[in-house]
Amino acid sequence: MARPFPIQRTSIVREAGKKWFVVDASGKVLGRLASQIAKYLMGKNEPTFFPGVDNGNYVVVINADKVLLTGKKLDKKMYYHYSGYPGGLKQLTARKLLEKHPERLIYLAVKRMLPKAALGTKYLKRLKVYASDSHPHEAQKPQPLEF
């Protein structure tokens, strides 16, 4: 028997009121920076925060190549990925990843601090990371953030 009216699953999305922020990563410690960025992506800085509702903002990170890691993490922290083939486990140290792809270092740190569900992937799409100090998002007039 069919229901009299279908159940609609709606998500409350605040697309028009999303803010843009720009963060300068030069001289900042990676973990502390990533946790603050994750907070703004999820919208935890907003008074209307609710865990199941998408209230997040856009965050643009510049100067990703000047981020700092404390202690001996540059040489001891390893990043792994698997090709899917036998013997296909690849590994990079944080130093090599910072030299080759500095934006990926911040991207992975923030990704691992976000929820591991559908909302987490939505949040991550709003993160824009650039190795230099220029970015193509000037038209959105991002507000500078200081941590």
Model pLDDT for residues 62-118, shown as the tens digit of each residue: 999 999 999 999 999 999 999 999 999 999 999 999 999 999 999 999 999 999 999
Torsion angles phi and psi, residue 104, rounded to 5: -70, -30
> Which pLDDT value is given to residue 17?
80
How is the beta sheet containing 58-62 ordered, strand by strand? 127-129, 58-62, 20-24, 143-145
User: In this structure, are residues 58 and 136 in contact, taking their beta carbons and an 8 Å threshold?
Assistant: no
Is 90 exceeded by the pLDDT of residue 127?
Answer: yes
Tell me how far the alpha carbon of residue 31 is from its chain's centroid. Answer: 12
CA distance 41 to 56: 5
* Structural domain that includes position 135: 20-69+100-145
CATH number of the domain bearing residue 127: 3.90.1180.10
Helices (H), the chain: 30-42, 73-76, 94-100, 102-111, 118-125
How many separate domains does the chain show? Answer: 1
